[in-house]
Structure 1
Amino acid sequence: MKLLLTSAGISNTSIHNALVDLLGKPVAEASALFVPTAIYAIPNGGDIVRRVIRGSLGDPFCELGWKSLGLLELTALPSIKQELWVPMLRQTDALLVGGGDCQYLCYWMQQSGLADLLPSLLRRTVYVGLSAGSMVMTRFGTTYNNHTLPAESDKSLGLVDFALHPHLDHEWFPKNSLDNIEKLAATLPMQSYAIDDQTAIKVIDGSIEVVSEGHWKLLRP
């Protein structure tokens, strides 16, 4: 399993180098699929999707110079035959999963069948998460409650055994102070990583590496 769990995308040279290392080749020689689903469950989601794809919002993610870039919308997948999208998914080098609402993303990963495919898929494909797209792979997820999903819906997939708290001390997220995150982490049964937008978590099978040009902290339960 190869994961690059970012707070805000490929925001600096160190994170870019970690991505290249996971891919085993330059970004310009790699194909990618972008999953925008989680973004639709937050205000102005449609416009944010457009801006992320064009590279006019936030740090580089879709606009990294990929050899090819496709779009994989999870809400559409249950209504089409798997042979139309599973082969494409298995052939791609990187799966780019955008941020937004973690619970909404987790629900559609499960409903679409993507969650069941991930363990085998990620033996080859690199999973690159951004914010909620990173958190959904961990044992802790959040929700904006801007949806009508069943209340008992999972908030994360738990494919890695830690919690992730992105956007540490970001001016847009005043609740994400280190003090607040430490209080939250103390209530969780697993260890947590608090990371700012210049930090990512690189995972290869069971090996975890923090890649950072910013600030982060490992928090014990």
Structure 2
Amino acid sequence: MKLLLTSAGIKNPSIHRALVDLLGKPVADATALCIPTAGYGHPHTNPTHAWRFISGRERDTPMCELGWKSVGVLELTALPSIGRERWVPWVEQADVLLVNGGDALYLHHWMQESGLAELLPTLRDTVWVGLSAGSMVMTPRIGREFMGWTPPSGSDDTLGVVDFSIFPHLNNPELPSNTLPAAERWAAALGSPAYAVDDETAFKVTDGTVEVISEGEWHRL
């Protein structure tokens, strides 16, 4: 699987070019499935946020509004009740998975419960585009500071597809606690590779190679 791990979606031309490069085709020729699940687990989101994401009305975090050939909705909480024989082909046929922000641990839980996490290693040509929590879920840990919904394990562990953790939305004026000193304290508690990134930054990951794509501010901590 190819990854584009963003803080706030396809925010600038550099991130857009990285997306097209990973797809290997124009956005207008690519089929997408969007995954809104993470939003339901976050204490500061509600169904309106999910609708705006799905309908392409989140101008501050562009994902579904990029002009895809088609966009479908993959709600992970529904998958266990409909059977793998139905939903696995939907995922396999998609060019890209657009994964909304919200609560990374809630998303991780439902990726495991639904079977999507188990399927990921087989999706070699599929592009995973994460937004905030949709990116953080691919890291080994998110840190206690980002724990909202508490999983049954009580742990902040996530999938560990990449070997670094992400502190998103650095210096976002709507998130005054997301400062570089706060990120440095967060990283020190993790004791493992980590980055703090603003909303103009993303990670492009192919075959284990990580490239920082940025028109803004980022720090390796």
TM-score range, shorter-chain basis? over 0.9
Counterpart CA distance in 1 for 2:86 and 2:105 is: 26
Contact persistence 1:38–1:99 (CA under 8 A): yes
Mind listing any 5+ residue stretches in structure 1 that lack a counterpart?
none
Counterpart CA distance in 2 for 1:143 and 1:100 is: 11
Q: Matched residue of 2:189: which SS?
A: coil
What is the aligned partner in structure 2 of residue 5 from structure 1? Answer: 5
Counterpart CA distance in 2 for 1:177 and 1:110 is: 32
- CA deviations 1:169-194 (Å, max 9, x no partner) are 11121221001101111222321111
What is the aligned partner in structure 2 of residue 165 from structure 1? Answer: 167
What is the aligned partner in structure 2 of residue 24 from structure 1? Answer: 24
C-alpha displacement of 1:83: 1.2
2:80 to 72, 78, 81: 78
C-alpha displacement of 1:153: 5.4
Contact persistence 1:137–1:160 (CA under 8 A): yes
Counterpart CA distance in 1 for 2:157 and 2:175 is: 20
Letter in 1 for 2:178: N
What TM-score do the two structures reach when normalised by structure 1? Answer: 0.94
What is the aligned partner in structure 2 of residue 144 from structure 1? Answer: 148
Matches within 5 A, 1:51-62: 51-57=52-58, 58-62=60-64
What is the aligned partner in structure 1 of residue 38 from structure 2? Answer: 38
What is the aligned partner in structure 2 of residue 132 from structure 1? Answer: 133
The question of 1:98 aligning with 2:116 is answered: no
C-alpha displacement of 1:152: 3.0
Letter in 1 for 2:158: S
Higher mean alpha-carbon deviation, 169-178 vs 5-14, is at 169-178
C-alpha displacement of 1:56: 2.3
- CA deviations 1:116-175 (Å, max 9, x no partner) are 001111x11000000000000011223213x6x424355411111001111001112122
What is the aligned partner in structure 2 of residue 111 from structure 1? Answer: 113
Counterpart CA distance in 2 for 1:150 and 1:30 is: 37
Mind listing any 5+ residue stretches in structure 2 that lack a counterpart?
none
Counterpart CA distance in 2 for 1:37 and 1:155 is: 18
What is the aligned partner in structure 1 of residue 205 from structure 2? Answer: 203
Contact persistence 1:33–1:94 (CA under 8 A): yes
RMSD (Å) for aligned C-alpha atoms: 1.3
Counterpart CA distance in 1 for 2:154 and 2:140 is: 15
Counterpart CA distance in 2 for 1:120 and 1:197 is: 30
